[in-house]
Structure 1
Amino acid sequence: MSLTSTVTGDAQIITVNADRIDAAMAIQFKEDMRSETDGGPERVILDLSGVSFIDSSGLGAIVASMKQLGGARRLDLAGLTPVVEKVFRLTRMDTVFNLFPSLDDALTEDAG
């Protein structure tokens, strides 16, 4: 799985460079997220704008990534496509994560 990471101000932006996060990729996603987010700012924004499909394993991998950040850090999600956003809403994960329509929205939002 390909992730790219940049730090902007007080946030780390991690972009998923894949069109799906599913059972075949979930373990690798968790490992890559762990290595990318080891240390760094307390706010991590996961840019999902390139992801067009996610299944329960992918959802679980994102939740696991949030948990491994620890209590002081948080994971926000940005750029969810309609299909991916629907999965988050149906599973009520939209109550766990801050969801932003785009990366720009996430960056301009002062959710601190």
Structure 2
Amino acid sequence: MPFESKSEAGYTIVSIDETRLDASISEPFRVYLFDQIENGSNNMMVIDLSLVRFMDSSGLGALVATLKKMGGEGTLKLAAAQPAVLDLFNLTSMDKLFTILPTVTEAIEEK
């Protein structure tokens, strides 16, 4: 599976071991994130995007669906987004919906 998670400082850190978050993996990614929430994740999640070089609307949709699933009950932060991925968030104005930080460490430390 191209996703892994670990706990750190009260957060569930989810890493994506793929360079593309597109239609080919967006549904398994969404299911994985939903499973993290349903299986006792404390609803404080950081998505490590450091390896992702391309994201399409389906990848973005998986993140939005996860945010909706949390229903305001938790925190979802994005970390280490690459330039092309940041461009997608800026173009779609999703940068206003998500907290996007330069590193996982900063995402954990940011209050």
Q: Same fold (TM over 0.5)?
A: yes
Name the TM-score, length of structure 2 as normaliser.
0.91
SS in structure 2 at match of 1:37: helix
Segments of 4+ in structure 1 off by > 3 A?
Answer: none
Match of 2:75 in 1: 74
CA contact (8 A) 2:27 2:62 kept: yes
Match of 2:44 in 1: 43
Match of 1:16 in 2: 16
Size of the alignment, in residue pairs? 110
Match of 1:28 in 2: 28
Q: What stretches of structure 2 of length at least 5 have no aligned partner?
A: none
Q: What stretches of structure 1 of length at least 5 have no aligned partner?
A: none
SS in structure 1 at match of 2:51: coil
Deviation, 1:71, is 2.0
Question: How much identity, in percent, do the aligned residues show?
Answer: 35
Deviation, 1:36, is 2.3
CA contact (8 A) 2:9 2:108 kept: no
For residues 27 and 15 of structure 2, what CA distance do their matches in structure 1 show?
17
Deviation, 1:32, is 1.3
Deviation, 1:81, is 0.3
Name the TM-score, length of structure 1 as normaliser.
0.91
Instruction: Name the Cα RMSD after superposition.
Output: 1.2
For residues 37 and 15 of structure 2, what CA distance do their matches in structure 1 show?
12
Deviation, 1:55, is 0.5
